[in-house]
């Protein structure tokens, strides 16, 4: 399932959704991160302000991967969304 981020406001509800799908409370997820529930709550309430590093850790726990989608070359292979193309770099 892919969720394209068009605006920063979208991240928050998506994050909460992912956490719930994983059946985790803020406290449970915070424990996995090694921080307090209150600290995690702060992150979840404004994920745009978090560092990539921090979001990445959370997403790893939730089984979610970050992807960068180049819109410039989008049109060339409309249906060829091969697994990973980062090897080209």
Partner DNA sequence: TAGAATAACAACCTATAGGCTGTTATTATG
Partner DNA sequence: CATAATAACAGCCTATAGGTTGTTATTCTA
Site for DNA, residues 28 to 47, rule: CB under 7 A: 28, 33-39, 41-46
Query: Per rule CB under 7 A, is residue 26 in the interface with DNA?
Result: yes
Element (H, E) at 20: helix 11-21
Say how far apart CA 41 and CA 45 lie, in whole Å: 6
C-alpha closest to that of 18 among 51, 66, 53: 66
C-alpha closest to that of 55 among 40, 71, 72: 40
Query: Per rule CB under 8 A, is residue 75 in the interface with a second copy?
Result: no
Which of residues 24, 33, 55, 61 is near a second copy by CB under 8 A?
55
Query: Per rule CB under 7 A, is residue 60 in the interface with DNA?
Result: no
Q: Which positions lie near a second copy, rule CB under 8 A?
A: 1-6, 8, 10-11, 13-14, 17-18, 21-22, 47-53, 55-56, 59, 63-74, 81-86, 89
């Amino acid at each position: 399932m892919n969720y394209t981020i068009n605006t920063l406001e979208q991240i928050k509800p998506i994050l909460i959704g992912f956490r719930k799908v994983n059946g985790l409370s803020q406290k449970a997820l915070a424990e996995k991160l090694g921080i307090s529930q209150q600290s995690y709550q702060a992150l979840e309430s404004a994920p745009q302000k978090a560092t990539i590093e921090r979001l990445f850790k959370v997403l790893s726990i939730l089984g979610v991967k970050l992807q960068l989608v180049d819109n410039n070359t989008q049109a060339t292979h409309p249906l060829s969304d091969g697994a990973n193309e980062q090897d080209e770099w």
